[in-house]
Amino acid sequence: MSACLSNLSEEALTGCGKRGYVLQINGTERSGAAAFTRTMSSESISSSNPSSNGDSPKQNINPSLLPKSHPYQQQEEMNMKEEYGLFVWPCSVILAEYVWQQRLQLSGVSVLELGAGTCLPGLVAAKLGLDVTLTDDSNKLEVLDNMRRVCDLNQLNCKVLGLTWGVWDESIFTLKPKLILGADVLYDASAFDDLFATVTFLLQNSPGSVFITTYHNRSGHHLIEFLMLKWGLKCVKLIDVFSFMPPNKASGLSGNIQLAEIVLISE
């Protein structure tokens, strides 16, 4: 994958993905741009080969041939969902670009990223000096560990928190962000209700706050509108992301992606 993002600072922004994949954003004030690069470590290459101690390689099993209740099927589905959070998706790149473009308006704002995964938008916000909390599903331990490692690599003091949508544990009641970010969090229709319930609570817990999300405009658009109304939300801005992405940066992205700013109907 290759894409570009406006320069964040003289310092490189680095994040580690699945099995040694490395994401780097490099740039200088002179170039005004940064390039994404991926490299695979020797450890990750060897990890795909049979172990040197003579053990047999793992047998390939097609999960789709197993009944839904089968433990292996359930574990495979959990693993797939966790791996989604270890790759940088186009919506994340776009939301990070938007945060960068809005940096002057965001001065002093507290930020929370939902379903952060590789947390690129949140990292950009932290690079701008904002108070940032990065969250993802409490059960995705590898994703959460990766987020902490990325913050350490970039010397960023972000709070990393397990937050499962629709689950009201003690930690969520202390969150009062003015800006809630969500990149490609509208991909699984079965999770929409829990997502909007969580967004609504966070908006109510911090009056005057806004939820900004980038998403692929898929067939679930009408369901999104219905659930927004159900949870007392309204969209105050809807943007075709390619209208604000510079052509040289948009050329590496694909899909019908939109950016929405969402607030409480009562505001």
Are 218 and 124 in contact by the 8 Å Cβ rule? The answer is no
| pLDDT one digit per residue (tens) for the chain, 267 residues | 333 333 343 333 545 444 333 334 333 332 222 333 232 222 322 223 333 344 444 444 444 444 544 454 444 444 445 566 577 888 999 999 999 999 999 999 999 999 999 999 999 999 999 999 999 999 999 999 999 999 999 999 999 999 999 999 998 999 999 999 999 999 899 999 999 999 999 999 999 999 999 998 876 778 899 999 999 999 999 998 888 888 887 877 777 889 999 999 997
Q: Which amino acid is at 39?
A: T
Tokens representing 110 are 């507290």
Residues in the chain: 267
Q: How far apart, in Å, are the Cα atoms of 40 and each of 2, 139, 148, 201?
A: 15, 26, 20, 40
Helix (H), strand (E) counts: the chain: 8, 11
pTM over 0.75: no
What are the phi and psi torsion angles at 145 (to 5°)?
Answer: -65, -40
Which CATH superfamily is 85-264 part of?
A: Vaccinia Virus protein VP39 (3.40.50.150)
CB within 8 A of 176, min separation 6: which ones?
110, 205, 206, 209
Are 100 and 81 in contact by the 8 Å Cβ rule? The answer is no
